[in-house]
A and B are shown apart, each in its own frame.
Chain A
Amino acid sequence: MNFELTEEQNLIRDMVRSFAETEVAPSAGERDETERFDRALMFDRLAELGLTGIVFPEEYGGAGADYLSYAIAVEELSRVCGSTGVTLSAHLSLCANPIYMFGTEEQKQKFLVPLAKGEKIGAFGLTEPSAGSDAGGTKTTATRDGNDWILNGSKIFITNAGEAELYVVLARSDKSAEKHRGISAYIVEKGTPGFSFGKKEKKMGIRSSPTMELVFENCRIPGDNLLGQEGQGFKVAMKTLDGGRIGIASQALGIAQGALDATLAYTKDREQFNKPIAAFQGVSFQLADMATQIEAARLLIYNAAYRASAGLSYSQESAMAKLFASETAMRVTTQAVQLHGGYGYTREFPVERMMRDAKITEIYEGTSEVQRVVIGAALTR
């Protein structure tokens, strides 16, 4: 057993941290304030650095690195900007990865290669107004017409929507089948007639990451765009979310680490009663708890990532990592604001943004409650 990162993983962390601090951090506050997605910075630069296809083999335009490297990259981006972290996570885990796992060779060449190279952004359409945690309740329909499929319905809260060129979308293809069995996954290209975008959400956090509604009105897609087998969509979605949880857990970890780093700097500098507030035991005990929880979250994530790369089962581990890391992020960022006092409540300091960004990690890609369902079900099976 070895807890040390490899030389490559260390180099990847150094590279992403340096990039994140130098290029991503300076505009994070402004992009949050103005709800601005900066594609050149938040995606195109990631592509230049080889981050958009980290875990995929070189023959599919990837870098051939492991899941731990991916987790580290999302963590380091999120340490300065949660929006940039989720842009990469949604693109890679939720769109490129299901195509890698379930796509035919033709689909991989046509769709995965440009995604991995970062020529196209990916997104994932699962959630509907009446089907959130209950993905089996999907109401968007896919009707066969000759060799094609016709999609009708809508998807909400879709990360990267509008900006992304490719969408993996879940739709009910068999109304008569049992609810989980009648769903299929499809690859939909932006610009397909009948596919449009609804309203852009005004969110509490990750405001620099676009979240929109997808609308399908008699949207005709070729039969070749069916991802996986017909009726296998629920499995595609669940496997996709297993990997996605590593990404979101890493995002939560990065946000928490960023908040701790900012708080350490602040509490060592801020003097009250003639000494730095970090010198008060009441403060240092809080810092100790924050750091300990962050380290525990990190080890849970790294273990899930290791298992994913080693080909071991990791559904339960990624659910535990996502549950613990996101709740840690919420707790740590709340404490970070508290320890900044009144300043922490203002936008002069980044912890205000980090606390808002942290909340979503307890909600998307499976709420904390759903993670407990996944873990509990595995325990009591």
Chain B
Amino acid sequence: MNILICIKQVPDMESKFKINGEGNWYDRADLAWRMNEYDEYAVEQAVRLKEQVKDADLTVLCIGPDQVTETMKKALAMGCDRGVHIADADSYKREPIEIASMIAGFAKDKNFDVIFTGMQSQDRGSAQVGVMVAELLGIAAVTTIVGFAYDNGTINVKRELEGGSKALVTTTTPVVLTCQLGLNTPRYPTLPNIMKAKKKELLTLAADAGSVGSRQETAAFYFPEKKGGGIVLEGDAAELADKLIHLLKEKTGVLA
């Protein structure tokens, strides 16, 4: 089996974010970086699939500046066989269709049976890249998967839908699968595997978004204004109840 895993490097979400000089994205300086959480589920599922079928080759792909190779090394240490880094210092400015075009451009003649990726990135959160890759390659896509089983060419996945409902979907290869929280528990890369990752092939390619131009632009990037603090009511119980009923009538639709 030929498997592609698309990952993204994102800031640690516990970082203190500042807005950049252009006011259209966060400032990338002084941040700690890690693998997009949803992509970790993608890597883990691909490695498990290889452990199941034995004969599989896992390529991990990442677009971004040179620093993303550290995150790619983690994917290699978790069990991916080779890495493809599409070098693009401006990747953070690109819209989903441009990123998807680069991935599809790389994947189009490689006959990948399964393409795993996260259902969205933790920083931009568009949730578009996976499905766009499938569309550009003319193959199926199943999104937000929380369960995966492979048997002799048939893939059964569980999807998470709104309202707590789930759906079971059967598909065949080739397919793009976007992974959701709960799909699995990603393994720690062991120390010997971290050392071995150093020796795995990591190819760097120049970025080429093809003829796809940018069609959207982030006009502003800002933190929401702080809402006023809570209201503290004081008084005895009867007084408090009256005040609360008054507030609920005035400010909400809870009481008519």
Q: Do A and B bind each other?
A: yes
Q: Which of A7, A18, A58, A73 contacts B188 (CB 8 A)?
A: A18
Contact with B along A2-24 (1 / 0, CB 8 A): 00000110111011001100000
* A29: min CB distance to chain B, Å: 23
Q: Report B195-222 residues with CB < 8 Å from chain A CB.
A: 195, 197-198
Q: Is A131 an interface residue (CB 8 A)?
A: no
Residues from chain B with Cβ under 8 Å of A50 in the complex: 190-194
B229 to chain A, nearest CB (A): 14
Contact residue among A8, A19, A49, A54 (Cβ-Cβ distance under 8 Å from B73): A8
Q: Tell whether A49 pairs with B74 under 8 Å between CB atoms, given A7-B69, A14-B34.
A: no
Verify A19–B188 contact, CB threshold 8 A.
yes
Residues B192 and A58 in contact, CB atoms below 8 Å apart: yes
The segment from A62-70, A91-99, A365-373 that touches chain B is: A62-70
A254 to B236, CA, bound (A): 51
Distance between B27 CB and nearest chain A CB, rounded to angstroms: 21
Q: How far is the CB of A144 from chain B (nearest CB, A)?
A: 40
Q: Does A269 belong to the interface (CB within 8 Å)? A: no
B188 touches A11 (CB 8 A): no
**Across the interface, do A8 and B190 meet the contact criterion of CB distance under 8 Å?**
no
B73, B74, B191 — most chain A CB neighbours (10 Å):
B191
Question: Within residues 29 to 64 of chain B, which ones have a CB less than 8 A from any CB in chain A?
Answer: 34
- Give the size of the chain B interface in residues (CB under 8 angstroms): 16
Interface of A is mostly: helix
Q: Is the CB of A63 within 8 A of B74?
A: no
Q: Is there an interface contact between A48 and B190, defined as CB atoms closer than 8 Å?
A: yes
Report chain A residues within 8 Å CB of B250: none
- A74 near B: Cβ within 8 Å? no
A49 partner residues in chain B, CB cutoff 8 A:
188, 190-191
Minimal beta-carbon separation of A12 from chain B (angstroms): 6
In the complex, what residues of B have CB within 8 A of residue A215's CB? none
Residues of A within 8 A of B194 (CB): 8, 11-12, 15, 50, 63, 65
Contact A63 B192 (CB under 8 A): yes
Looking across the interface, which residue of chain B has its beta carbon closest to that of A50? B191
Selected contact of B74 from candidates A11, A48, A54, A64, CB within 8 Å: A11
Pick from B70, B189, B198: contact of A15, CB under 8 Å? B189
Q: Is B115 an interface residue (CB 8 A)?
A: no
A11 contacts B73, C-beta separation under 8 Å: yes
A51 within 8 A of B: yes
A18 to B77, CA, bound (A): 15
Interchain CB contact under 8 A, A64 and B195: yes
Binding site for A on B (CB under 8 A): 34, 69-70, 73-74, 77, 188-195, 197-198
Which residues of A approach B to under 8 Å, CB–CB? Answer: 7-8, 10-12, 14-15, 18-19, 48-51, 54, 58, 63-65, 69, 73
Q: 10 closest A-B pairs (Cβ-Cβ)?
A: A50-B191, A50-B190, A50-B192, A63-B192, A63-B191, A7-B70, A11-B194, A15-B188, A49-B190, A7-B73
Listed A/B pairs (5) with beta-carbon separation below 8 Å = A8-B194, A11-B197, A18-B188, A58-B192, A69-B191
